[in-house]
Amino acid sequence: MPVTTEPPRPLASEDVRLALRAATLYHLEGATQAEIAAKLGVSRPTAGRLIARARAQGLIRIEISIPDELGATVHTELERNLEQNFGLTEAVVTSAVPDGSPAGYYALGRAAVGVLARRLHERDTLGFTWGPETVAVAQALKPRSARCATVVQLDGSMTTTNYQTGVDFTLGTCAQLLQAEPVRLHAPLYADAATVTALQNDSLMGRALEVGRNADVMIFGIGPVSTATTLFEGSYLDTALLDELRRLGAVGEMGGRFYTREGADIDSSLTARTVSVPLDAVRACPAAVLVSGGGNKHEAILGALNAGLADIVVTDIDTARWLVEHKEAAPR
């Protein structure tokens, strides 16, 4: 005998009145279900059912309105699209677009501090990679913005040139303002494979890398594969290495480790020579915060999101729109 499913029956007039009263009290007046039950003379479960019935019968319409004066600075719908398209826990979109200068990242840094204020806890370890984005985060920190137990450097920074990575400023400022123990990784970003193995076995370097791999929160920027990247400017890479990486399909790097536009890790001649936490440790971090933006980093950010390197992204409005468009245009 076939079974038919009937649509919900319309509520009787008394049921409609009670459902509307319950929904009004709950959604407009902020009453709890216990308070609604007491006011209407019903049980608490009945109050919950009345609210659910109002929803099921289409009696409730919820509308969120952004005031005109905030429309240019609040981008909640775009943030929601980013979260849905890339499976993110949270997206934060700023109106200011980085211009490539160190000062241009300040708006992103300030927004990232807001994320840390909500996500970082007193017993947590915060890991960071060096670069202009994390320098901007350190600059935007204020006393009592947040607090944690440890701040650790996730990638080596020493180089043969007098290049200013900002790692000392970032580590020192974050440790001071977050009231945390600083853990410095006194190592180059790239070395020969035997030296990397020795550094990993060294008690001091090994501890720093282990603390970094297990950080509760990681915050990092990313770089493109071009002569405009900080790795090239600091003489960590030369044109021959850039050519090799491009041939392998690299579009971006995090902590000196490279990946493709589709999110696959790149296995290059640099892989065994890199002193930083592996990308799998970033993927395993419960709160990996990517802070980056600007037109020259669009492909790199897309690759990082496709690689699953971020749970939370802080970026600018132009980059956010580009990411949503290109994710939706990608073949399924």
Q: List the domains of the chain with CATH numbers.
A: 13-56 (1.10.10), 72-329 (3.40.50.1360)
Q: Which of 156, 157, 155, 149 lies closest to 174, judged by CA?
A: 149
In order, the DSSP letters of 103-120 are GGGHHHHHHHHHHHHHH-
Percent of the chain predicted with pLDDT > 70: 90
Percent of the chain predicted with pLDDT > 90: 67
Mean pLDDT of 106-122: 95
Q: What confidence tier does 78 reach under pLDDT thresholds 50, 70, 90? A: very high
**What is the CB neighbour count within 10 angstroms for residue 21?**
16
Provide the residue count of the chain.
332
In sequence order, which ranges of the chain are alpha helices (DSSP H)?
A: 13-27, 33-40, 44-56, 76-86, 106-119, 132-140, 167-177, 193-201, 203-213, 230-233, 239-247, 279-284, 298-306, 317-329
Q: Which of 256, 266, 278, 129 lies closest to 190, judged by CA?
A: 256
Q: What is the pLDDT of residue 167?
A: 93
Q: 3-state SS string over 67-87?
A: CHHHCCCCCHHHHHHHHHHHC
Query: What's the chain's average pLDDT?
Result: 89
Beta strands 181-183 and 217-220, pairing class: unpaired
Q: What is the pLDDT of residue 299?
A: 97
Q: What confidence tier does 115 reach under pLDDT thresholds 50, 70, 90? A: very high
Instruction: Kindly report the pTM of this predicted structure.
Output: 0.81
Beta bridge partners of 181: 150
| Cα–Cα distance, 321 to 82 (Å, whole number) | 9
C-alpha 188: how far from chain center: 26
C-alpha angle 109/112/116, rounded to 5°? 135
Instruction: Indicate the residue type of 275.
Output: V
Burial (CB < 10 A; 0-12, 13-18, 19+), residue 75, is buried
Q: What confidence tier does 66 reach under pLDDT thresholds 50, 70, 90? A: low
Q: What confidence tier does 24 reach under pLDDT thresholds 50, 70, 90? A: confident
